[in-house]
Every structure is written in structure tokens, then in C-alpha cells.
Amino acid sequence: MLGFYPVRVLPSKTAILPVNPTFLPRSEDEREMCTRTVYCTNIDIKISQAEVKNFFESICGEVTRLRLLGDHMHSTRIAFVEFAMAESAIVALNCSGMLLGSQPVRVSPSKTPVRPRVTHPTLH
């Protein structure tokens, strides 16, 4: 019982996995980046990177880096959004549940920084 209401606890539909340690912050700078970064799930597959950026910039503030991930095997995508200011990331947490395309986006604090992509030379 919670107050006067019965509570039903159901098994999770998703596995709770620990973050791969190689993705965790490696320096004080990366820890600071995490305070400015949010992790977004349930992003409509039809939404572009520019649309995600515009959504957050119009509500929260300047986006400095954005990584939109996903494939056609899943019906939704995820994104890491890094802001110029930590305050913008805090505002972004309040966007959870807002419609981005046709889906309510879920926003949570990021445990990992958005690192620049490393380009590997192709082997010939």
C-alpha cells in the first residue's frame, strides 16, 4: 500500500545494464561535460539531427554537440545532447514527456560525455 492505494510491482521489460567502463568520464573535463549532457530515448525514427538540435535549443539553450544514434531495426532512436551551459541541461530534463515528432521524448542526465568521433584510417 502507498497511502490508500495498492501498489503492483511488475518485472522490468528492459534489462538494467551497467555502463561500459570505457564510456565513463576519464578526466575532470569529461566529468564537467557530463553535467552539461543529457541522454534522450524514445526519439521518433523520422526525426533528423537538426530537428533534435532545434527542439532543445528553442527550449533550453545552445547545443554544442549532439550524437543521434539508432538503426532501422528499432522503432525509436537515442541521442546524447551536450549544452554550452549546465543550466541548459537541467532545463532539458523538464522536456521529458514532451512530443518530439510523434513520440514523447524521455530525457535523463547522461553518465557519459559525448566524445568527438575518432576517425580511423582505412587499411588498403
pLDDT tens-digit profile of 15-48? 555 666 666 656 777 777 889 999 999 999 999 9
pTM metric for this prediction: 0.74
Q: Locate cell 576519464: which residue?
A: 26
Is 14 within a domain?
A: no
Angle in degrees, CA 25, 28, 34, rounded to 5: 50
CA distance 68 to 118: 16
Q: For 61-97, what is each residue's pLDDT tens digit?
A: 999 999 999 988 888 999 999 999 999 999 999 999 9
Give residues with Cβ within 8 angstroms of 117, minimum separation 6: none
Task: Tell me which residue range forms the domain holding 66.
Answer: 28-109
What are the grid coordinates assigned to 42, written together? Answer: 524514445
Is 32 within a domain?
A: yes
Total domains, the chain: 1
* Strand duo 63-69 + 37-44: pairing: unpaired
CATH of the domain at 70: 3.30.70.330
What are the grid coordinates assigned to 43, written together? Answer: 526519439
